[in-house]
């Protein structure tokens, strides 16, 4: 046992000294592995970070939340020309669903409108994300408020000119002033601020609530009507906690088909998109991104591995005479094998560690530059990088090390003379 430990120690010492005595060659070998490991871990970290932040944004919604609209949130087999003929989901259909759906906890109506400018006194904020929805929207989106409240059912149904604003909008318009109760101008009319949404940071899907305003859907309906070409309508359905999602979806489908008088052989003229389906689609995209990243990064590792193998063959060639002398003095084949194998593995491990440090520094810099996007460098990814670099070194060094260990001592000494 002690003999083998001594053998490993001496082999490691020889390998380390060989690397230290050829600094330029060692550096060039390290560079290839470092770039390969950096590429793999950087891709894994970036994809994990994107996945985490997307899931964080979606976590505010119930995964079973449904969106009823004339368009689909995901891929569909219905051709575009056919979809263009579908009617919008109108306010009467929303009211009917709200009154008749047995498995729904909340049903909200939302209009998608263009960004607007809001004004208070001499202060103006342009290109503001304008959320136009019924009062149930706050319950479905689980909005939290730093001041005030969301508009109630009476204000929503009557289309009263009240407004809820995001944290950044409040700071831009009012500064240190109390925003609740103030009147701001929008659509050529004054709206009374009744609430400020709690600061939440930027979002990945559209604009953050911090830079958004919320007003009753019926105000816009009363102003522009239900058939405006520039406005799309959707119905958002949040199921009850114990509701069967498939049954609820079937119920919505049946109600909508009956309301629109569709015949059994006619396709649905609407789409029901579910958040859980969106998450599954995102998981698929993330998986594809991981696969593509691995494929690209493996080419870099392949180049690094060939670089190590090439350097090791050169090292064997240069030290042929020394190998012959070592073997003539009694060095076993295992000693020579381990000597060169350790050299290759040390190169790969050090290169991998340098790559990991570079990724770690990169994530720290990226975190400092992006306030609301969290970059993740998980222990799992670090372990993957360390393991891969070790395997690359082992594979790259096996053939050169085996070649060196099989040299005939007499021929090796003669070759070096």
DSSP bridge partners of 69: 271
Question: Nearest to residue 332, comparing CAs of 405, 412, 415?
Answer: 405
Please list, residue by residue across 144-183, b when 16 or more beta carbons sit within 10 angstroms of its beta carbon and e when fewer do: eeebbebbeeebbeebbbbbbbbbbbbbbbbeeeebbebe
Please list, residue by residue across 51-89, b when 16 or more beta carbons sit within 10 angstroms of its beta carbon and e when fewer do: bebbeebbeebbebbbbbbbbebeeeeeeeeeeeebebb
Residue 331, Cβ density class (10 Å: 0-12 exposed, 13-18 middle, ≥19 buried): buried
Return per-residue pLDDT of the chain as tens, 417 residues.
Answer: 554 455 555 555 655 665 566 666 667 666 767 777 777 777 777 777 776 666 666 555 556 788 998 887 767 788 888 888 888 888 999 999 999 988 888 999 999 998 999 999 888 999 899 999 999 999 888 888 999 999 999 999 999 999 999 999 999 999 888 999 999 999 889 999 999 999 876 554 445 788 899 999 999 998 888 777 778 889 999 988 888 888 988 999 999 999 999 898 889 888 888 876 566 666 666 677 777 767 766 776 677 677 777 777 776 776 667 667 766 767 677 767 777 777 777 777 777 777 778 877 877 777 666 655 566 677 777 777 777 777 777 777 777 777 777 776 666 666 655
Cα of 163 vs its chain's centroid, Å: 33
- Res 184: pLDDT: 93
- Res 412: pLDDT: 61
* φ and ψ at residue 235, rounded to 5 degrees: -115, 130
**Residue 405 host element (H or E):** helix 379-405
- Res 409: pLDDT: 66
Cα(374)–Cα(55) distance, rounded to whole angstroms? 12
- Res 163: pLDDT: 95
pLDDT digits (tens, 9 = 90+) for 240-271: 888 888 898 899 999 999 999 989 888 988 88
Q: Where are the beta strands (DSSP E) in 249-358?
A: 271-274
Q: Where are the beta strands (DSSP E) in 157-231?
A: 162-165, 183-186, 189-197, 212-216
- Res 149: pLDDT: 94
Cα(74)–Cα(56) distance, rounded to whole angstroms? 20
Q: Against a cut of 0.75, is the pTM above it?
A: no
CB 66 within 8 Å of CB 94: no
- Res 169: pLDDT: 92
3-state secondary structure of 183: strand
Residues 6 or more apart whose Cβ sits within 8 Å of residue 330 = none
**Residue 145 host element (H or E):** strand 145-148
């Amino acid at each position: 046992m002690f003999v083998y430990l001594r053998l490993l120690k001496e082999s490691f010492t020889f390998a380390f000294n060989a690397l230290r005595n050829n600094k330029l060659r060692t550096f060039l070998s390290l560079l290839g592995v470092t770039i390969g490991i950096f590429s793999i871990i950087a891709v894994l970290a970036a994809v994990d970070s994107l996945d985490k932040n997307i899931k964080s944004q979606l976590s505010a919604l119930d995964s079973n939340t449904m969106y009823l609209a004339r368009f689909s949130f995901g891929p569909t087999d219905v051709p575009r020309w056919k979809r263009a003929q579908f009617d919008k989901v109108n306010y009467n259909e929303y009211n009917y669903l709200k009154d008749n759906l047995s498995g729904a906890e909340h049903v909200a109506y939302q209009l998608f409108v263009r960004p607007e400018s809001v004004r208070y006194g001499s202060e103006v904020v342009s290109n503001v994300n304008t959320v136009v929805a019924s009062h149930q929207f706050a319950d479905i989106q689980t909005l939290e408020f730093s001041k005030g409240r969301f508009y109630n059912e009476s204000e929503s149904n009557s289309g009263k000119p009240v407004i809820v604003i995001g944290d950044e909008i409040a700071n831009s318009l009012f500064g240190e002033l109390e925003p609740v109760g103030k009147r701001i101008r929008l659509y050529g009319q004054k709206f009374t601020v009744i609430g400020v949404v709690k600061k939440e940071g930027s979002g990945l899907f559209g604009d953050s609530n911090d830079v958004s305003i919320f007003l009753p859907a019926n105000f816009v309906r009363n102003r522009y009507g239900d058939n405006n070409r520039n406005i799309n309508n959707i119905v958002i359905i949040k199921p009850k906690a114990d509701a069967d999602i498939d049954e609820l979806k079937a119920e919505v489908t049946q109600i909508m088909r009956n309301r629109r008088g569709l015949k059994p052989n006619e396709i649905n003229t609407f789409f029901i998109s579910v958040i859980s389906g969106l998450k599954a689609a995102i998981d698929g995209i993330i998986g594809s991104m991981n696969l593509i990243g691995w494929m690209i990064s493996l080419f870099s590792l392949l180049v690094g591995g060939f670089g190590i193998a090439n350097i090791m063959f050169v090292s064997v060639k240069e030290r042929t005479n020394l190998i012959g002398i070592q073997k003539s003095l009694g060095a076993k084949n295992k000693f020579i094998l381990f000597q060169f194998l350790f050299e290759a593995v040390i190169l790969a491990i050090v290169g991998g560690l340098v790559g990991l440090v570079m990724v770690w520094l990169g994530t720290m810099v990226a975190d400092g530059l992006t306030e609301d996007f969290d970059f993740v460098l998980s222990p799992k990814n670090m372990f993957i990088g360390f393991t891969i670099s070790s395997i690359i070194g082992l594979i790259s060094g096996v053939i050169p090390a085996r070649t060196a260990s099989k040299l005939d001592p007499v021929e090796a000494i003669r070759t070096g003379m």
